[in-house]
Amino acid sequence: MNREQLAARVLELVTGIAPDVDPASVIPGIDFRDQFDFDSMDTLNFAIALHRELGVEVPETDYSQLASVDKCVAYLAEHVS
Amino acid sequence: MASEFRLPALGADMDEGTIVQWNVAPGSVVKRGDVVAVVETDKGAIDVEIFQDGVVREIVVQPGTKVPVGAVLALLEGAEAPSATVARLKISPAARKRASELGIDVATLQGSGPGGVITLEDVERSPPPSQAKAEPGVEPKAGEGMREAIAAAMSRSKREIPHYYLSTTVDVTPATDWLAAHNASAPVAERLLFAVLPVKAIALTCGEMPGFSGFYREGRFEASPAVHVGVAVALRGGGLVAPAIMETAGKSLTALMDDFRALVMRARAGRLRASELAAPTIILTSLGESSVDAVFPIIQPPQVAIVGAGQVVTRPWVVDGTVQARQVVTLSLGADHRVTDGRLGAQFLARVAERLADPGSL
């Protein structure tokens, strides 16, 4: 997957967890928490979704690297085979 | 024998709902626990279960109609008379007179007076029958309705419940270490959030000290034999709901986490069940990460206690005579002076804190 495809996939998974968020309104450079109250439960569900959909098991200590679309893309680019 | 299926109470801050869908029709055989209708409320769509076995004889309230809690929704046949669902009607003479002037069926009203008595205020607050029908297009936004509902419930709580407050800060480093180790080795879907630890600690403590888990109704407290800890869930549009994790004390942390995750998901999707909203015998409000240290929570009537947990933070803490960096959390208790006092409350909160400091006990 290239970076655009990764970003689209991340957006899809995040808005799957937070269905009330309009995908078009998500700003890639700003943390989810600051945009739409993404909390620890959402982060855990996101990690579960990444594992299920992309096969990436993100350790809890790396959660901070999943805080925004941009950060996710950078992290996944390294970890998705 | 026919009996009435009424819109059940859905927690302190919800007093009406709009039927959006029936899952049954006249002739349908229903069993206790079946979801028979979907009701739109200030807290989103809620699945309403039936509390008795029987056969549906008549659907009384059609989809699109807004009705107050207690309104008869359907008639059942072959059903035993419901026990707790139909309370004896208590109403002040002035309220009864006013209700008759306004053409309001007093059986549909919820009493807010002492012992659940329907007061003049309850009657006047109730929508006149002509407005009880749904008016598409003039509905308030969900957020506004929820804000009003929360305000009404919290005003009632502060008016009726003589609250007392206690707090204690506890070193939870053993618990956070245990959690980090568990989450590092468990599959991602079995990871736990810190909040399930206080949920379990509260449930176990309620089992030992019944004065904090139950309902204050009709002028007296009834301890609940089963402990159902409600968890306050913030909704993204604003507002919050506090559905129950049923039979909390007997569940493993993993099972509690599964229930907690499912509740949050359904709360935010607007698919809670009526029984989950009415069931909590005590509530935990957990502020979560990156927030503040302490909360002074307001009890949700008819409950008599609520526990708050602030963020888990690293603080200097004295351990064995030396200052160390430890993970601490401040727990608070809001409780009802009609049932307990500060001495018992202090024992309760100290016991919850002890359990939280010792994750092996959970």
What confidence score (pLDDT) does residue B309 get? 97
Give the span between the Cα atoms of B302 and A81, in whole angstroms: 54
Same domain as B315, residue B193 = yes
Give the span between the Cα atoms of B223 and B339, in whole angstroms: 10
CA B47 to chain centre: 15
- The DSSP output letter for B361 is G
Indicate the residue among B29, B64, B86 that finishes a domain: B86
Same domain as B78, residue B175 = no
Q: Structurally, how many domains does chain B consist of?
A: 2
Give the span between the Cα atoms of B344 and B330, in whole angstroms: 19
Cα-only R_g, chain A: 11
List domains and CATH numbers for chain A: 3-79 (1.10.1200.10)
Residue B306 placed within a domain = yes
Candidate from A37, A57, A58 with C-beta closest to B236: A37
Lowest mean pLDDT among A5-14, A50-59, A63-72, B81-90: B81-90
- The Cα-based distances of B334 to A81, B20, B239, B283 in angstroms read 51, 37, 20, 10
Average the pLDDT over A25-44 and give the result: 91
Beta bridge partners of B328: B171, B313
Helix (H) or strand (E) holding B220: strand B220-223
Same domain as B187, residue B311 = yes
Judge whether residue B134 has pLDDT over 60: no
What confidence score (pLDDT) does residue B92 get? 66
Q: Are B201 and B352 in contact (CB under 8 A)?
A: yes
Residue-wise pLDDT for B97-111, tens only, equals 666 666 566 666 667
Give the span between the Cα atoms of A15 and A24, in whole angstroms: 10
User: Are B193 and A40 in contact (CB < 8 Å)?
Assistant: yes
Same domain as B63, residue B178 = no
CA B85 to chain centre: 17
Q: Which of B87, B114, B129 is nearest to B302 (CA)?
A: B114
Q: Are B327 and B173 in contact (CB under 8 A)?
A: yes
Q: Are B224 and B213 in contact (CB under 8 A)?
A: yes
Tokens of residue B189, six digits: 């879907």
User: CATH number of the domain that B322 lies in?
Assistant: 3.30.559.10
Q: Does B182 contact chain A (CB < 8 Å)?
A: no
Instruction: Please state whether the predicted TM-score (pTM) of the whole model is above 0.90.
Output: no
Beta bridge partners of B47: B38, B273
Indicate the residue among B59, B86, B113 that finishes a domain: B86
User: Per-residue confidence at B288, pLDDT binned at 50, 70, 90?
Assistant: confident
- Nearest CA of chain B to the CA of A48: how many Å? 6
Report the share of chain B in percent with pLDDT over 90: 51
User: Are A21 and B180 in contact (CB < 8 Å)?
Assistant: no
User: Are B188 and A36 in contact (CB < 8 Å)?
Assistant: no
* ipTM for the predicted complex: 0.89
CB pairs under 8 A between A and B: 43
Averaged pLDDT score across all residues of chain B: 85
Residue B98 placed within a domain = no
Indicate the residue among B71, B86, B101 that finishes a domain: B86
Per the structure, the complete domain to which residue B307 belongs is given by 161-361
Residue of B nearest to A57 (CA): B188
| Residues from chain B contacting residue A57 (CB–CB below 8 Å) | 187-188
